[in-house]
Chain A
Amino acid sequence: MTYTPPLPGTLVRTERVPGARHWSVELRRDYALRLTDLDGGANCAALFYNSRNFLERYNMADTLKGQHTAFLTRGHCLYSDMGRILVSITQDTCGWHDAFCGVGNAALTAARYGALNYQQARNECHRNGRDGLLVELGKWGMGPPDLVANVNFFSKAAVDVTGDIRFVPGHSPAGSVVALRAEMDTLVVLDTCPHPLDPSTHWQPKPVQCEIVYVGPAGADDPCRLSRPENARGFDNTARYHCQHDHGRQREGPHA
């Protein structure tokens, strides 16, 4: 029996990730992960790996320098270290997602919010982004060396002319959405701890809704493909990885 993809736009899975929790999903090519900041003020740290070879992974530097940007929004692509596009940002109501602040650790969480362990608080204990990502990476056989520079969706850290970094509170209103379309089969690893520069000392980590939607391949006029000449080459390189032509990829199937 041949595989028949669903109709574009078909929602195939929904998961609500509470605040300060970790989660991962193997996102198949042509499916999108749609993240929603349900309450406003969420932070979603994210890492991306080639599902077939975890040594190929999201590369902050190649992503930023290739698109001449220090932040991420609609039209940008998230590149691996192998010159290929793992996911592209097809929808974004937020306008700026932090790409350079990383995640907090146990010491930072204890200093800002106070230490509160599981014995004391059960599942309301104070967690940290680094340990959450490490637990999730461990499920896939990965560990500390695989924890590379991450993206923080829904968070903005502005930069002034001297390079000083300033966290922007209230950047993401309730209902903010960002959608990531997989251009190759991609393992997505998430953590929803507060942004490491969020100055609030009130522990109130926010939930993120994760939806998997079938969206189909990027067309010839796709905004991510056309946003920069580098991205046209990125889509081409990714098609080469799949041993396929690009140029507005067409594939067999009922919706091709």
Chain B
Amino acid sequence: MSILASRLDPVHAVFQCDVPAGDAWLHRLAAGQTLRMLDLEGNQAVDTLFFNAADPAERYSAQDTIRAQGNLYLTAGTQLLSNEGRVMLTITADTCGRHDTLGGACAAESNQIRYALDKWPMHSCRDSFLLACAHSRGLLTKRDLPANINFFMNVPVTTEGRLSFEDGISDAGKYVEMQAAMPVLVLVSNCPQLNNPCNAYNPTPIRMLVWD
């Protein structure tokens, strides 16, 4: 787990917005731009996917990323690889220290399995992703939703192979930054999960900042 602060000043950011919990956010980054996700209130899960802006069939691959770096967790220095084995972005700063890419997005259906069969009407990240796909003018569909990153989520795996969502290691004001190595589409669902203590049952907004 490595902590690496950023030298970038928000005053010089070329873009800034806050994404409320339960919303999707689709944004294009030019090659060389840096995106910061700022956890405003702490332990908020930011479910994230990346696509090659010129060819969305090339997309973030969790398995290629963790295999190539030989480690399950994402942190400063991690190269986020595509399904074609190319570097899409590199994590350049991280004051949280560790991010998950095995736990995936919450969904009406997986909430049924994890919590109770009658949970299906609750809002979920997959619904946010699908809504973003529906408004993408045909760019993205359900087929384009692979395993995602959960920035700020703590999903440790034990040496016996047990996996669990643990209480967060993030906090208000912690952030992660990544620099795009190619033009990318960033698709985020700011997680609305109300069933899991990992966010203290309190989904909160996330701030996005972009630098050239």
Instruction: List A residues at the B interface (Cβ < 8 Å).
Output: 55, 59-62, 64-66, 68-71, 79, 81-84, 96, 100-103, 105, 107-108, 143-150, 158-165, 196-197, 230, 233-234, 236-237
Question: In the complex the two chains form, what is the Cα distance from A66 to B116 in whole Å?
Answer: 12
Contact call A62/B71, Cβ cutoff below 8 A: no
The answer to whether A61 and B61 have CB atoms under 8 Å apart is no
Known A70-B162, A159-B161, A165-B66: A83·B107 in contact at CB below 8 Å: yes
With contacts A61-B103, A83-B107, A158-B161 known, what are 14 further pairs, Cβ within 8 A? A61-B104, A64-B102, A65-B114, A65-B163, A65-B165, A81-B109, A83-B109, A83-B113, A101-B63, A102-B61, A103-B63, A105-B84, A144-B83, A145-B59
- The docked-state distance in angstroms from the alpha carbon of A196 to that of B146 is 20
Q: Which of B67, B85, B147 contacts A61 (CB 8 A)?
A: B147
- Say which residue of A64, A84, A105, A145 sits within 8 Å of B144 (CB atoms): A145
Question: In the complex, which residues of chain B have a beta carbon less than 8 angstroms from the beta carbon of A161?
Answer: 158-159
Give the distance to chain A from B14, nearest Cβ to Cβ, in Å: 31
- Given A68-B163, A69-B162, A102-B61, A149 and B143 contact (CB-CB distance below 8 Å): no
* Number of A-B residue pairs having CB atoms within 8 Å of each other in the complex: 136
B112 within 8 A of A: yes
CB distance from A108 to the nearest CB of B (A): 8
Q: Say whether, besides A105-B85, A163-B73, A62 and B107 are in contact (CB < 8 Å).
A: yes
B142 within 8 A of A: yes
Q: Top 8 nearest A-B pairs by Cβ distance?
A: A61-B104, A102-B63, A83-B109, A163-B72, A145-B143, A70-B157, A71-B161, A70-B163
**In the bound complex, do residue A236 and residue B117 qualify as a contact, i.e. CB atoms below 8 Å apart?**
yes
Q: What separation, in Å, do the CA atoms of A143 and B73 have in the docked complex?
A: 28
Given the complex, which residues of A lie within 8 Å of B110, measured CB to CB?
59, 62, 65-66, 79, 81, 83
B64 interfacial contact with A, CB 8 Å:
yes
Query: What's the Cα separation between A196 and B63 when bound, in Å?
Result: 11
| In the complex, per-residue mask of B109-128: 1 if CB is within 8 Å of any chain A CB, else 0 | 11011101100000000100
* B96 beta carbon closer than 8 Å to chain A: no
| Mask: chain B, 133-172; 1 = CB below 8 Å from A; 0 = not | 0000000001110111000000111110111110000000
Residues of A within 8 A of B148 (CB): 61
